[in-house]
């Protein structure tokens, strides 16, 4: 185990912590939007929460794009749809876990939610690191590698990447 092994591990831990902080800020944005719209603008809670989700998504994307995954440039048309897809997959995973734990296993709903807040962010981090904001032309996730090999070479992941900053921050994890 050389120094590169420890550098890569430190980089992943740093990214996880930054990802967590971005999640806290985006959650604050969602709750702030909800409260502001309901209390000050007399919105109904459901539409206020839905707009809060959009605000949260934009905050989360912006912070993770810039700080967690150290992206540069303006390739948002390539990355944002992938990021949104990962977030929607996280929502589906969250719903599935809650259904299984609460409806099928009859756990207390808070216990079910505790499961989701450990599993969903970790899966979102992995998908974002190795698919949404991938550095190389081929994803690091085996199932996605096969799918990308079937796509044309000029895919959305190749647009506008600054490979010099990526090779320093990501390496081959």
- Tens-digit pLDDT profile for residues 103-147: 999 999 999 999 999 999 999 999 999 999 987 554 444 455 555
Q: Residue 117: CB partners within 8 Å, gap ≥ 6?
A: none
pTM of the model: 0.72
pLDDT in tens, 73-96: 888 999 999 999 999 999 999 999
Given a contact cutoff of 8 angstroms between Cβ atoms, the answer to whether 131 and 141 are in contact is: yes
What the block records as the tokens of 168 is: 């320093």
Q: What is the pLDDT of residue 169?
A: 40
């Amino acid at each position: 185990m050389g120094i590169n092994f420890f550098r890569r591990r430190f980089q992943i831990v740093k990214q996880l912590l930054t990802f967590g902080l971005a999640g806290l800020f985006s959650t604050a944005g969602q709750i702030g939007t909800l409260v502001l719209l309901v209390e000050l603008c007399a919105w109904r809670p459901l539409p206020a929460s839905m707009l809060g989700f959009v605000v949260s998504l934009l905050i989360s994307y912006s912070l993770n794009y810039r700080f967690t995954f150290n992206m540069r440039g303006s390739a948002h048309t390539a990355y944002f749809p992938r990021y949104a897809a990962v977030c929607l997959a996280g929502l589906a995973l969250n719903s599935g876990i809650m259904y299984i734990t609460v409806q099928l296993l009859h756990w207390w709903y808070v216990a079910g939610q505790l499961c989701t807040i450990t599993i969903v962010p970790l899966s979102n981090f992995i998908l974002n690191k190795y698919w949404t904001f991938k550095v190389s032309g081929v994803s690091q996730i085996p199932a996605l590698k096969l799918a990308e090999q079937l796509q044309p070479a000029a895919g959305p992941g190749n647009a506008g990447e600054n490979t010099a900053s990526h090779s320093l921050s990501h390496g081959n994890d």
